[in-house]
Structure 1
Amino acid sequence: MSRYLLIRVAEMMGVNVLMKPKPSKAYGSGGHLNFSTNQMRGPGGIQHINKAIEMLSKSDQGPLLKMYDPTFGVDNAERMKESHWSPSMNFESAVGNKQTCTIRIPSMVNVNGRGYLEDRRPPANIEPYAASEALVRACILGEFMRK
């Protein structure tokens, strides 16, 4: 909804909105996804978070990332090649790491033992519904598992 409002207000002001993940050579822009289920938010949820991360790590990343990025990875791949505050092209999960990991467990989630995971790979031009579907299919249904 916020994207819709941004675009409509920009139109009224005569301004264009650019939601490219790599709008310039110097900067990249991500559209991180926070993901959880009832089990992840409940007591002992960290076990379910770790299981979801394990499922993601065993997933074929190509089709999964294509669902995140409407440009089929061209711009997002450029963003992910940066060395500063961008996720790695290689799958990596960590607690509290906001710099290079692809999947992050926030520090407080780890301390509390429940909460959510953050997928830092989606680009700024993310299609939120398709990306959410991709996470459900990968983390819960195991549809992207490598053969």
Structure 2
Amino acid sequence: MSYQAEYIWIDGTEPEPLMRSKTRIVKSGKEPEIWGFDGSSTNQAPGSNSDCVLQPVVTVPDPLRGGDNVLVLCEVQLTDFTPHPTNTRAIARAVADKYADMTPMFGIEQEYTFFQNGRPLGWPAVGFPEPQGPYYCGVGGEKMPGRAIVERHTQACLDAGLAIEGTNAEVMMGQWEFQIGVLPAPTIGDHIWLGRWLLHRIAEDFDTTVSFAAKPVLGDWNGAGAHTNFSTKQTMESWDAIVTVCESLAPRVLEHVTHYGTGIQDRLTGKHETAPWNKFSWGASDRGASVRIPWAVEKAKKGWIEDRRPNANMDPYVVSALMIDTCCSALAGDKPTLFVPSQGAEATVTV
């Protein structure tokens, strides 16, 4: 007997990578092994030297096929088994190992928008739905399109063993969210990418597509984010550590937002529960701040922070790596080392 292993990876498409997958038949009793693919078809290699390596890193039960079948999340490597330039998981793994003694942990709120026939799911063919208001955590009737997909996706995540914490309808009609956590890096990124793949795959059965665009509809409509909750051993014990973490983010506004997903300026406008993209602020219970301190954290004087800036289309490996690099280096008295901030833009800070 044999089983099916669905090999999943992130490609090199810019500015927003796509998810790719293909099926391998594996003999019973054997684990999924290294495989390969044509990188010239995924924007990861030239045709003259197109071989890329799929290195399995996470294997979970396949909740769609059932049985002994599995999903296999892979890192992309070059043929010398070094990380491919598009392999951001390797970056997250390295920085997480560096500060493992601080126990950096993450919970990510992944928003997304369903589309069908070129419009958000449930929107009329001409014009717009009723203004935002009744959709967030709503129930009932035609105003909640997509719930059947959400229910299938939630159960699939549970069956796959992903650390899904909840789901809810979001502010714009056709927009939803699932939450993953609390996990260390790079595992938080693994579960987000697997959750995204399952969402794409299940939506296929409903003739629906999933968009992680930061501003799926221009105008007076909410964008889609991936609010990132972050803690360390120190913040879970001390308010002073929370202050240190927030203040460490302040001088690195551009360093972060330029790596927080495509279309950041369209979404972080200062409206629709966002802070301006080039300004930094933090405060308790403030959904208009760059970083929100949950009320329970302020009351307990210890806990976690919520960085509200990452887009829905962010790379969770990159975001978690940046958060660890910036915040943990400040707690340790080190200098951050990851990435180079964009030039030609100015940032301001409000604390």
Distance in 2, Cα, partners of 1:8 & 1:136: 31
- The aligned length equals 138
**Cα offset for 1:48?**
0.8
The one of the two structures with greater contact order (alpha-carbon pairs below 8 A, sep at least 6) is: 1
Alignment match of 1:104 (pick from 292, 295, 318): 292
User: Which residue of 2 is the match for residue 57 of structure 1?
Assistant: 250
User: Which residue of 2 is the match for residue 10 of structure 1?
Assistant: 203
Distance in 2, Cα, partners of 1:94 & 1:35: 15
Distance in 2, Cα, partners of 1:139 & 1:22: 28
User: Which residue of 1 is the match for residue 230 of structure 2?
Assistant: 35
Q: Which amino acid aligns with 2:251?
A: K
Distance in 2, Cα, partners of 1:118 & 1:32: 6
**Cα offset for 1:32?**
0.6
Task: Tell me the TM-score normalised to structure 2 length.
Answer: 0.37
| C-alpha contact (below 8 Å) 2:227/2:309 kept by paired residues | yes
- CA change 1:82–1:23 in 2 (3 A) is farther
Which deviations, in whole Å up to 9, do the C-alpha atoms of 1:7-57 show, x marking residues without a partner?
121123332111101000132111110000111112xx2211110111111
User: Which residue of 1 is the match for residue 306 of structure 2?
Assistant: 118
Q: Which amino acid aligns with 1:29?
A: A
Unaligned runs of 5+ in 1: none
Say whether residues 1:66 and 2:258 are aligned partners: yes
| C-alpha contact (below 8 Å) 2:257/2:264 kept by paired residues | no
Distance in 2, Cα, partners of 1:67 & 1:78: 14
Distance in 2, Cα, partners of 1:102 & 1:64: 11
Which deviations, in whole Å up to 9, do the C-alpha atoms of 1:54-91 show, x marking residues without a partner?
111122x223222221x2xxx12111115231223210
| C-alpha contact (below 8 Å) 1:80/1:88 kept by paired residues | yes
Q: Which has the larger radius of gyration?
A: 2
Say whether residues 1:94 and 2:289 are aligned partners: no
User: Which residue of 2 is the match for residue 24 of structure 1?
Assistant: 217
Distance in 2, Cα, partners of 1:64 & 1:84: 20
Distance in 2, Cα, partners of 1:127 & 1:11: 23
Task: Tell me the TM-score normalised to structure 1 length.
Answer: 0.85
| Greater share of strand | 2
* SS of match in other structure, 1:68: coil
Distance in 1, Cα, partners of 2:204 & 2:230: 31
Distance in 2, Cα, partners of 1:11 & 1:143: 42
Distance in 1, Cα, partners of 2:315 & 2:199: 15
* SS of match in other structure, 1:101: coil
| C-alpha contact (below 8 Å) 2:268/2:275 kept by paired residues | yes
Identity percentage of aligned residues = 30
Distance in 2, Cα, partners of 1:87 & 1:129: 23
Q: Which amino acid aligns with 2:290?
A: T
